[in-house]
Amino acid sequence: MAATRRALRRWWPVLLAVAAVGGIVVATNPAEVASTLRRTEVPLLLPVLLLSVLALLAQGMRWHFLLGAVGARLPMRDSVLLSVSGQGITALLPLGDLTRAIFASEVGGVAFADVVATVTVQELTFTLFLLVSAGPVVLERHQAAGAEIAALVGVAVIAVILLVPPVFRHVHRVAAHTPVLRRHIAEIDELQHETVLLLHHRRSMAWSLLDLLRVILSITAFWLLVRAVTGGGTGWASAAFVLALSYVGGAVSLIPGGVGANEASVVGLLYLVGVHPAAAAAIAVLQRTVSSGTAIACALVAYALARRRHPELSSLTAIRRGGDAARALRAG
């Protein structure tokens, strides 16, 4: 029984992914989804995989310049390896993106909260660029305008909390009286301080163009995936619209890797832009397979290379249990 519980704790994200994707397939039409998948233009999936890998590399390159701004003296190669290494955990666990922050704090000799600030800034700029890319379809068709506005307002609210001192002081007072948050009030203060410094660091922010490149690569990969399944008919702007809002939907769900919420959003948004439900479900299944599969495969290779260069790196097993994350947070 104990062994079963341990196995469930270890594999529940994977089981959740299978259940969520399977549920979406059943809710549409399994026979039609299977038929659509059989008609997929497989050669188009090769550039999808390549673009997905390039997007991971662009993410790591951008992160390198943010790490440099907080004092981490890492070669570009190490920054990229550590960034990609964290993506396997990101694909499976909530807040898994903090894995790369743990790795960088161990190797780069920088406080964990400072590295978390780099992740925060990168995700803010990436999300902002992604949402802006959805703007043309929202303005033209007025579809999901409420969701787009809500997401943009959410990004704006986070920026205001971090950048406007009176607002942050009010949030700080609330956090200081919240049972869970008050234990980490020092880390929250340091995170806000470093985030402000990064957002005012002109040279570092200039490299946010790499986040824009990552957005373009990700949208193009998704657009080609849609074309591979449907044979065409969906434009690049529509693909940007679907990817942007489904990304936000998965992120706010706090479900590991956005599993289920992301796929449901993809199906619904594709239907809005004229894709048949069975084809939309097939696209959601393929997107999850390609995105998570690519991230995990690249992460394992990158981690093996990074561990060879830096034996002090935490093990992936320890990271998945959350023990190292907790120790890193306490160390601040």
pLDDT digits (tens, 9 = 90+) for 261-319: 777 888 888 888 888 888 998 998 898 888 888 988 998 899 999 989 988 787 765 55
Q: Of how many residues is the chain composed?
A: 332
Cα dihedral 79, 82, 60, 72 sign: negative
pLDDT band, residue 324 (cuts 50/70/90)? very low
Half-sphere exposure for 214 (CA within 13 Å, toward CB): 24
Is the pTM of the predicted complex or chain greater than 0.85?
no
Q: Which two tokens stand for residue 88?
A: 């396997």
Distance CA 299, CA 304 (A): 8
Backbone angles phi, psi at 177, to 5 degrees: -110, 10
pLDDT band, residue 330 (cuts 50/70/90)? very low
pLDDT band, residue 106 (cuts 50/70/90)? confident
Residue 289 and residue 47 in contact, taking contact as beta carbons nearer than 8 Å: no
pLDDT band, residue 33 (cuts 50/70/90)? confident
Q: What is the pLDDT of residue 93?
A: 60
The more confidently predicted of residues 319 and 44 is 44
> In the predicted model, is pLDDT for residue 325 greater than 50?
no
**DSSP per-residue string spanning 145-157:** HHHHHHHHHHHHH
Q: What percent of the chain has pLDDT over 90?
A: 22
Q: What is the pLDDT of residue 184?
A: 64
Average pLDDT over residues 171-176: 75
Distance CA 145, CA 161 (A): 24
pLDDT band, residue 253 (cuts 50/70/90)? low
Residue 207 gets which letter from DSSP? Answer: T
Centroid of chain to Cα 318: 21
